[in-house]
Amino acid sequence: MANAFSLNIAVCIKQVPDSSGLRINPGTGNLDRSNAQNVINPYDLFALEAASDLKKSCGGTITAVCMGPPQAESALREALARGADKAVHVCGPAFSGSDTWATSLALASTVLLLDQVNLVLCGKQAVDGDTAQVGPGIAAHLNWPHIAFALRIRASENVLTGECSDDSGNFSASFPLPGVVTLSRGHYPLRRTSLQDWSKALQAQIRQLGPEEIGLEPDQLGIKGSPTRVRSIKTILFTKKTEFFRGSAAQAAEKIESFFRKKSSTPFAASPVRLPDPEKNCRIFVTGEIRKGRITPVTYELAAKALELSDEVSCGSALVFVTPASEIPVEVNPPPPADKVFVLQAPSAHPLDIVSLTAALADFFTHARPDIILGGATAWGRSLMPRLSVLLRTGLTADCTALTIDGKTGDLLQTRPAFGGNILATITCNRKPQMATVRPGVFKEAFAGHWPDQVCLPVPDSIIDSGITIMETSVPETPGNSLAGAAAVAAGGMGLGSDGFKLLEEFSILSGAAVGASRSAVDAGWAGLHCQVGQTGRTVQPALYMAFGISGAVQHLAGMQSSGFIISINRDPESAIFGVSDLAIIGDCKEILRALITRLRNRKNGSPEWKDS
């Protein structure tokens, strides 16, 4: 209790269907929610634990805030059992149909109403929508700084520091309070709630707030207050034709190897649809991501898509970067397919200081007034784009898998998978710019013949004064190959065992496939958190996904079922994973893995076909 200041923390929670109760109906291939109960979004539990941890060292109060239907009361009761001192339920028919923009506005307005809240904590994303937009959105509405995807947080002397980790390494970010942090599944163990905790939680009063109390007008709420609309919904039936294979381990290994060669090669980059033309009026923009001087692959993918869309509506497309330098180094980066490249030069802005970057971009876009802005759904983009969308007072659709232009209205049709991945929703935005993020690997990357003109615009220091300090601490601890953007992933589950994971690592080194793991395998300590594939881990869509000893819980399937080609190896012919697999091998995954490794070792020089062919 050495600190003089006190923390008043609001933890925003959401009630979601429990993914452990979800099954894929084998008859229809649909998601069967009939047995799924409502629970607190798993990431929000980490936010609650982080809040309790801070309270232990700094004192203060924790208020759980939930916007949701009447039955969300049970989520608030559980939050009270899990350490919240007070609970606030934002509830009313007027809120229903809110998109992430309207939700973050309502939550931000609620936070302002609470007594001296100086820190808002959220889970990094809700597992039913997976957008990760509400946390940064709240921060933008409050005009507070934010840190997204923190693993651990601490506070001292009015400064909050979050430890983060992304594909480029580990770093810490600090800001003076007030501010917003979203929590990943990090270092906080979940408590066991006791009878005592529940008794207290059930006695507590829950404060109910309606639209009037939080000071919002009807047109700021629910469907009216939401810039995005679901235009149509399409159910995808699992029409996979699974080939079943039984045989010796050696035969299975041979089979896998032949598919590996066929499927895991990275496709050649596509050619852009047209030549860049610096004379065009740029109305479609891509927020470019640049790391240590190199443009990320997803930026090329989106540039290609933006150019394609711009051709349909006869305008130009541009890339915009915020960097300390005045131009993008052309010698190390192939030319992106864009009509123009804007470089917002901000010498004092750290490339991981999302708040400053967003401020610079918002200022630029307010003047440029584009129709469409696309960004990559990387950790960086998922933190930046939602904040930007609020600053530009428009909606954002996360993780789109298809983007097209409506021929009649000229609207951007944004298609994204919904919960469990077997529903595709097409979404439009009734404000401009229309904004969307896209996961890496969804679109094909393309390169232009020569570098487009670079236009450098200096950013005044006053715009980028976020107060955030970044300290880069280390390179990623990921051994071997990173899951992000991997062409092939070899993942293991409970059926593989801890010694099996050693084989998997060896296979990964020999083959170039990245190591993945199911949640239970990560829980068992056989693989690191960064390897976890699934709803609470990473979503991957490599050209080839190999599942060794993974039974196929829905939460795992959600993270990998859109992979190009899926091979699964399991002893149990009834495994759920076989339902989404192209090739189902029934057998002992360890033996097959050993046979595969032997095959690979026998190929001298590590076999170039197996690596980046």
Partner 1 sequence: MNARNVLSALKAQPPDLRTAQNYVSPGCHERYLCDESRMAGFPPARMWFPTDTAGVSAALAWISECNERAAVSGARTGIAGGAVPYGAENLLSTERIVYKPMLIERNGEWFLKTGAGMTLADIQAFMRNRDSFPDHAPAGLYYPVDPTETSASVGGMIASDASGARTLFYGSTRIWVNRLTVVLPDGSILDLERGKFFAQAGKFYLKSPNGVVDDCAFSGVRIPGTKHVAGYRLSTDMDLIDLFIGGEGTLGVVTDAELRLTAAPECLYVCLFAGVDHPAAEFAACLKQRMPLLALEYMDRASMHLLRNFRDSASAASGVPDLTDWDLSVYYVEIPLDKGNARERVDILKSALTDSGLDPADSWAGFSPSYLDEMKRFRHALPERVNQLIADTGKSLPGLTKIGTDMAVPDHALPAMMETYSQGISREGLQSVTFGHLGNGHLHVNILPRSMEEVEKGKALYREFARYAVSLGGSVAAEHGIGRLKRDLMSVQYNPDEISEMLKIKRFFDPQFRLNPGVLFA
Binding residues for partner 1, rule: CB under 8 A, are 18, 20-21, 25, 32, 34-35, 37-39, 74, 78, 81, 192-199, 202-203, 498, 523-526
Would you give the DSSP letter of residue 503?
Answer: H
Tell the smallest beta-carbon distance from residue 206 to partner 1 (Å).
12
Tell the smallest beta-carbon distance from residue 581 to partner 1 (Å).
22
Which of 35, 232 has the CB closer to partner 1? 35
Tell the smallest beta-carbon distance from residue 81 to partner 1 (Å).
8
Tell the smallest beta-carbon distance from residue 459 to partner 1 (Å).
48
Tell the smallest beta-carbon distance from residue 425 to partner 1 (Å).
22
Tell the smallest beta-carbon distance from residue 27 to partner 1 (Å).
9
Which of 196, 602 has the CB closer to partner 1? 196
Q: Which residue has the tokens 């050209």?
A: 543
Cβ-based neighbours of 230, under 8 Å, separated by 6 or more:
425, 426, 427
Q: Write the CA distances from 10 to 140, 173, 175, integer angstroms.
A: 16, 20, 17
Q: Write the CA distances from 36 to 13, 128, 351, 400, integer angstroms.
A: 18, 12, 41, 26
Tell the smallest beta-carbon distance from residue 10 to partner 1 (Å).
23
Which of 85, 363 has the CB closer to partner 1? 85
Which of 37, 473 has the CB closer to partner 1? 37
Q: For the purposes of burial, counting CB atoms within 10 Å of the CB of 336, is it exposed (0-12), middle (13-18) or buried (19 or more)?
A: buried
Tell the smallest beta-carbon distance from residue 36 to partner 1 (Å).
9
| 3-class secondary structure per residue, 253-300 | HHHHHHHHHHHCCCCCCECCCCCCCCCCCEEEEEECCEECCEECHHHH
Which of 34, 409 has the CB closer to partner 1? 34
Which of 32, 167 has the CB closer to partner 1? 32
Tell me if 519 sits within 8 A of 537, measured CB to CB. yes
Cβ-based neighbours of 326, under 8 Å, separated by 6 or more:
343, 345, 456
| Distance, CA of 600 to CA of 490 (rounded, Å) | 15
Q: Where are the alpha helices (DSSP H) in 351-423?
A: 354-368, 379-391
When computed from its CA atoms, the radius of gyration of the chain, rounded to whole angstroms, is 24
Which of 25, 258 has the CB closer to partner 1? 25
Number of alpha carbons in the 13 Å side-chain half-sphere of residue 508: 25
Q: Which residues pair with 294 in a beta bridge?
A: 291
Which of 196, 409 has the CB closer to partner 1? 196
Strand locations in 68-176 (E):
86-90, 119-123, 146-156, 159-166, 169-176
